[in-house]
Chain A
Amino acid sequence: MAGEKAEKPDTKEKKPEAKKADAGNKAKKVKMVKKVKKGKPHCSRNPVLVRGIGRYSRSPDSRKVLKHARKLRASITPGTVLIILPGRHGGKRVVFLKQLGSGLLLVSGPLSLNRVPLRRTHQKFVIATSTKIDISGVKIPEHLTDTYFKKKKLHKPRHQEGEIFHTEREKYEITEQRKVDQKAVDSQMLRRIKAAPLFQGYLRSMFALTDGIYPHKVVF
């Protein structure tokens, strides 16, 4: 589609073009993105000329993705039990805590029930069930933001003289901070989970499709 910058947003359409407009910027995980409308009467197609922002400019100001409004499905509210779909935790039922600044969802197993730690997931890769826990009183530490959860790049070993075959890759290790935060959140949640009947077992169990169960017929 032409005219990346000056196009009016179409609410219904999920535009991949929104990503192309920010082609120079780092790819973020926001998939359902509403393009910010630029009210420019004379649009210049050349992104370099538009507002002096270079196409490959990576300065924080030019990352329009950051300014996008983050949507949250109406079915997902704090305390909802979500079913994680893909990945190593696929099929697990977790509790939704809050939506982070980038739009990703902060969830927790809790860890002791289904081995899902405080983690970020994406709305699109999650089924929201109608089951909810009341976590209104749960205080989630303020420092749990996107930067806290951002993946740390594990350094590959650099080949040095005499150490060519010795170097090991840096392995991911759970930091103490994470354990502390996990415990802080989980202890509050577990109290509420244990109060509700059958909830512990529910969160421990995993979702799976079996014979005769069709997702379009299932009421989540």
Chain B
Amino acid sequence: MASTPEKTKTKTNKEKHHTEMTYRRLWSKAIFAGYEQGLWNQREHPALLKTEGVCARDETELYLSKRCACVHKAKKNTVTTGGKSYKTRVIWGKITQAHGKCGTVWAKFQSNCPIRATGHSICVMQYRSRI
């Protein structure tokens, strides 16, 4: 009976380190679609996310209050939980509410999602889970 080696999963360890265990995705993919805006003004605090596979408002119910993470790379290494330092950084946030009919959601991050991340992936975690 092979004992599975333990994988240290630090918070910003989103880079696929194929060390002992194969990478397993436990988060949903979402696209950062932009900021909350009216016709002429935008508010950067709520960000709009389009979660993959979610096409209707009633499907977003599961994702509300889930943690989401905007993962990006930077030039310098930063230390993460777990002690190792990586060039990857995370901005944590949470999905707050649904937006519109087509499955878009609002997310609020601890610091606003950078505009250069538009069109890029955001990880939507499965916690905090209500199932």
Contact = CB atoms under 8 A, between A and B. Distances in A.
Contact of A125 (B7, B9, B24, B129): B129
Given A85-B125, A115-B6, A127-B126, A214 B24 contact: no
Nearest to B54: A216
A214 B28 contact: yes
Interface stretch (A134-142, A155-163, A202-210): A202-210
Interface string B1-17: 10110111100000000
DSSP class of A's interface residues: helix, strand, loop or mixed?
Answer: loop
B128 interface: yes
Contacts of B3: 112, 115
Contacts, number: 73
Centre residue among A31, A216, A217 by max chain B CB count within 10 A: A216
A208 B130 CA distance: 18
A40 interface: no
Q: Is the interface of B mostly helix, strand, loop or mixed?
A: loop
A220 interface: yes
Contacts of B7: 88
A94 B42 CA distance: 45
Contact of B4 (A114, A125, A127): A114
A27 to B, nearest CB: 16
B26 interface: yes
Interface of A: 31, 73, 75, 85-91, 112, 114-115, 123-128, 204, 206-210, 214-217, 220
